[in-house]
């Protein structure tokens, strides 16, 4: 038998140790801390990478961007000052709206409003850089109140949901994944008072749109209608913007319509996100 070189022996030893640790941790599933060890490598690496590489790089690119747009800063400041003056008025109107909601809930004996939700701010510390795992890792975890299944949104719309939570980090699976685990209850806003329920089945990379299945063929769906989450599924709070209808097609030989929806969220610029939790019942 041909002898192995020292380098081969060293590499085989390292790989054997890594595989053994992975397999042993897979077999031992009796305790919660052991189960979480499988992802510790991912989380540790993500935090190290964020601290040593991503954060300094982001600081540099932000500085360069700010310097390059310095000349338009004065105009932006003027607009922002005008908006700041209006914040006080919006704040009082918002508080008045909350009081009205509470009054209506008491009148109708409702204990929970489906649109109530609290949010947790998070920073993206790692994003997958390959074509098959559409996931990001956030710097908040169970210590901050994050739970599996929570919705994640950006300032533009729904991004995905939390699939794995550790104490300090969370893994979010984006809606652009083709894995068949992202069926979400949504509703299409036909007009300000009427909506139609649908199921978001998956993201189609060929049409670059979400594919919805609408069961109620009596509803007249047209392009341009907004699609928001429905709380009927029990997972996400109601009212999170998913996208806008861009194509409606009658399915041959089956009931229902196939609807394509352009995503509202931007899946390119992902630095700061919000985790949305449904409000708890009183």
Q: Which secondary structure element, helix H or strand E, spans residue 106, and what is its range?
A: helix 73-107
Cα gap 121→170, rounded to integer Å:
12
Question: Which of 280, 260, 130, 116 is closest to 202 using CA atoms?
Answer: 260
For the segment 199-228, give every residue that binds another protein (CB under 8 A): 203-206, 208
- For position 246 contacting another protein by CB under 8 A, the verdict is no
For the segment 78-117, give every residue that binds another protein (CB under 8 A): none
Considering beta carbons, is residue 110 or 241 the nearer one to another protein? 241
- For position 59 contacting another protein by CB under 8 A, the verdict is no
Bridge-based pairing state of the strands 209-214 and 194-204: antiparallel
Cα gap 160→172, rounded to integer Å:
6
- The tokens 């004065």 sit on which residue? 74
Q: Tell the smallest beta-carbon distance from residue 52 to another protein (Å).
A: 9
Candidate list 119, 213, 219, 267; residue touching another protein; CB under 8 A: 267
Candidate list 135, 142, 189, 219; residue touching another protein; CB under 8 A: 135
Residues that bind another protein (CB under 8 A): 4-5, 7-8, 11-12, 14-15, 18-19, 22, 39, 41-42, 45-46, 49, 53-54, 57-58, 61, 126-135, 137, 164, 171, 174, 176, 178-179, 203-206, 208, 263, 266-270
């Amino acid at each position: 038998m041909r002898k192995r070189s020292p380098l081969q022996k060293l590499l085989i030893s390292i790989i054997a140790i890594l595989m053994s640790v992975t397999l042993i941790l897979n077999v031992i599933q009796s305790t919660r801390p052991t189960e979480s060890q499988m992802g510790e490598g991912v989380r540790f690496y993500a935090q190290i990478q964020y601290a040593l590489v991503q954060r300094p790089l982001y600081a540099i690119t932000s500085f360069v961007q700010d310097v390059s747009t310095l000349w338009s800063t004065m105009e932006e400041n003027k607009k922002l000052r005008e908006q700041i003056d209006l914040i006080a008025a919006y704040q009082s109107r918002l508080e008045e709206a909350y009081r009205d909601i509470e009054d209506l809930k008491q009148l109708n004996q409702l204990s929970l409003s489906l649109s109530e939700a609290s949010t947790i701010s998070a920073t993206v510390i790692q994003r997958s850089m390959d074509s098959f795992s559409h996931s990001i890792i956030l710097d908040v975890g169970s210590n901050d109140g994050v739970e599996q299944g929570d919705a994640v949104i950006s300032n533009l719309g729904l991004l995905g949901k939390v699939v794995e939570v550790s104490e300090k980090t969370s893994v979010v699976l984006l809606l652009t994944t083709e894995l068949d685990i992202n069926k979400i209850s949504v509703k299409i806003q036909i007009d300000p008072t009427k909506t139609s329920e649908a199921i978001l089945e998956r993201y189609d990379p060929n049409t670059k749109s979400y594919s919805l299945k609408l069961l109620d063929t009596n509803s007249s769906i047209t392009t341009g209608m907004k699609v928001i989450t429905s709380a009927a599924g029990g997972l996400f709070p109601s009212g999170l913007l998913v996208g806008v209808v861009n194509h409606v097609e009658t399915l041959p030989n089956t009931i229902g319509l196939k609807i394509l929806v352009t995503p509202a969220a931007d899946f390119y610029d992902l630095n700061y996100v919000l985790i949305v939790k449904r409000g708890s019942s009183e």
